[in-house]
Every structure is written in C-alpha cells, then in structure tokens.
Amino acid sequence: MPLEPRVVHAAGHRRHPALLLRLVACLLLAPPLPLTRSATVVTRLPGFDGPLPFYMETGYVGLGDATGGAELFYYFVESERSPSTDPLLLWHSGGPGCSAFSALAFQIGPLKFVERRYDGTLPQLVASIIFVDSPVGTGFSYARDPKGYNVGDISASLQVLTFLRKWFDDHPRYLSNPFYLGGDSYAGKMTPLIAQHGYLVGNPLTGDKIDDNSRIPYCHSFGIISDQIYEAALINCRGDYVNPTNKLCANVGQTINDLMSEVDNEGILDPVCPSASPKPRRDALRRKSLAEEHYELSDGPPYGCIKYRYHPSYIWANDNATRAALGIKEGTVKEWIRCKPKGELPYTFDLPSSIGYHFKLTTRGYRALVYR
C-alpha cells in the first residue's frame, strides 16, 4: 500500500416526545438565521487521478454563539443523474463521534480507498447527499469555546436541525427535492428524533434495554452460541441478560460474552483482527453500535484485516494537501480521527430510547427503511 492512499470514484434525563417535536417545529418555522457558512468547491483530491467526475462541496455551518461558537463540517456530493429532482439525503454517522467521512468513503459515498488496481466499474449517484460531522468535535467539526463540546443526544439532534436550516438558506435550489434523513449505528438512534419526512437507518441503536437484550437471540440465530447456552440464558435470565439477578444468569452471561469476543463485530464471518495499540474498545454486552474502533496512525491493524481499510484514511485526512483541498480551517482540528475513542467527547446520553419516534413516524405513513 503506498503512503498516499489512492482514492477512486465508486460511486442523563428524559424529555417528552411532544416537547421535542414542538422544539423541532419552532426551529423549522423560525425566521431565516444569519448565514455563517464557508464553503469550498472541491474539484481535485490528493490520490485521485484527474478532476472529480461529480460536484463536491465542503464547508462549515456556524451554529451561533449560544453553542460556544460550534461549527459543523460537511461534505456535499451532488446527484449525477438529475440534481434538480433527485432526492436529497442528510447522513450522519454513529459513534457518537465517528466522522461522516466514513460513510462518504466506506459506505454510501462516491469515493473509496483502493488497495489494488481499480477495475473501472462505477455506480452512479442518483441522490445528492450531505455528510455532516456531528456532534461537535467529530471529524473536522469544532467549537471556539470548549463548552461547545458539551452536547448530548437531544442537543446534538437540535443542532443538526439548525445546521439544516442554515444549509437550505444557502442552497434554496434543493428545497423542492424529496428530502430524507439517514444514519447508521448510534446515529440511527437520533435520526427518527428529527425526521420530518422519510428516513433510513442502518444497524441502528434504538434503546439500551432492547438492543442489549436482543443480542442474545441474534447470536443464537447465527450459531455464535449453542442451543444449550441459549436455553440456559432463557431459563436463568428471563429476558434480562444485561443486569443479572442471580449467579446462574451472571455465569451464562459471561460465557456468552466470551464467545462474542471471538467474533468480529463488523462481520461475523470474518476473522477477528488482532488488537492494535491502543486496544480497540469493545462494549461486548453494551452497545454493538458503539463498538467503533480507533487506531493510532503509527500502529494500524495488519494488512488483510477488514479494519485495515480504515487505516489509510488517517494518513490521507491528516495530510496538508488534503486539508487544503477540503478547505479545512487551520488550527481548528489538530488530528483528524475517524472515530473518537469513548470518553474523549463530553457527550451526554439523554435519549433512553427512540422506539416511540419510530412508531409515531411510521404510523403517520412516513417512508422508512431499517436495515442491518
């Protein structure tokens, strides 16, 4: 793998749902906010041969002094088919604390890193996508005041709404396009919270209790744990596998935990990657959607490991030429990290569950796609 990665075109408290919906309505109906956006039209990227074959824009949207001078960074790619009528999607990644660049380069975006010669097959972008680094402190997003990094599920979601209002103020030509919200992993928990139309979520967190407890039936259905162990869990834990109330449940939970540690959480059919330094965080029985991993540049995962694909992005995103091409403000983010390690951001998990929001949206007839 060359040093310069090659890039190709690859095409704590609860709030009542009604209260939050009123806050959302206030944000959507409020008068236009002052524009504080700075944008860069990206025509070339280090590692990509020639000009980009699609329209790409990056920039910052300021959220105001009340947020500690927070500025959310975004990547925007325009549909290659019919930008004036094709859907517009806002995508934010999980973690919390994973850069939306993960989605741009490794999931649904038109760029990817390659380890071998590119075969020339290119999918066509049929939707315009805004990839936003949220919450503040993720990717290239930053705050001028350290207090601006103190956000949580609800405040970060409302900041995304503020971001959208300002972005549409600067891009009014997309107001008539069908609009969808999307997110995966932990971001899938907040997506239905702020969705006003259709939405899609991948492997989403919904709530600690249901997510953690559903992992045991999932492991059994895929043969990770045996029938005997599963039956012991059913009998002794009675549906609560996370907070055991007896020793037998605790013992079988530990056995399941040990078996799960032998499986790669990003692909159960793939071999488990050796841990790099620092050791990747795995909350085995807590949140699979939070088990994003962070590797130091100097000691990435070994070549051939599925997680190796992330390693070149650290080198690429922290290169001065890349930062210049993306219009990154100097002195704002010292080191770009794909996923912030747990505890690095002062984040508050104040939305216990999003199941009620899924129910409200789907019963109103909004289009929804939930996938693994």
| The amino acid at 311 | H
How many helices (H) and strands (E) the chain has is answered by 10, 11
**pTM more than 0.85:** no
293 strand-pairing partners: none
Domains of the chain: 6-205+307-371 (3.40.50.1820), 208-286 (no CATH)
Question: How many whole angstroms separate alpha carbon 319 and alpha carbon 341?
Answer: 21
Q: Give me the helices (H) in the chain, please.
A: 17-29, 101-106, 153-170, 187-194, 208-221, 227-237, 247-260, 311-317, 320-326, 355-363
Q: Give yes or no for a contact between 39 and 327, defined as CB atoms under 8 angstroms apart.
A: yes
CB burial of residue 310 (10 Å; 0-12, 13-18, 19+): buried
pLDDT of residue 118: 53
In this structure, how many other beta carbons lie within 10 angstroms of the beta carbon of residue 104? 22
pLDDT of residue 272: 77
Dig out the tokens for 251 from the structure. 């013992």
Output phi, psi for 233, to 5 deg: -65, -40
| The amino acid at 170 | D
pLDDT of residue 300: 62
Q: Each residue's pLDDT tens digit in the chain (372 positions)?
A: 333 455 555 543 334 444 344 434 444 444 444 444 579 999 999 999 899 999 999 999 999 999 999 999 999 999 999 999 999 999 999 989 999 999 999 989 998 887 665 555 556 789 999 999 999 999 999 999 999 999 999 999 999 999 999 999 999 999 999 999 999 999 989 899 888 789 999 989 888 788 888 889 999 999 999 999 999 999 999 888 888 999 999 999 999 999 988 888 777 877 777 654 333 333 333 333 334 444 444 456 666 677 777 888 999 999 999 999 999 999 999 999 999 988 889 999 999 999 999 999 999 989 999 987
Question: How many whole angstroms separate alpha carbon 6 and alpha carbon 85?
Answer: 32
pLDDT of residue 115: 63
pLDDT of residue 19: 35
pLDDT of residue 312: 87
Dig out the tokens for 236 from the structure. 């002794």
Question: How many whole angstroms separate alpha carbon 250 and alpha carbon 233?
Answer: 9
Question: How many whole angstroms separate alpha carbon 261 and alpha carbon 250?
Answer: 16
pLDDT of residue 58: 98
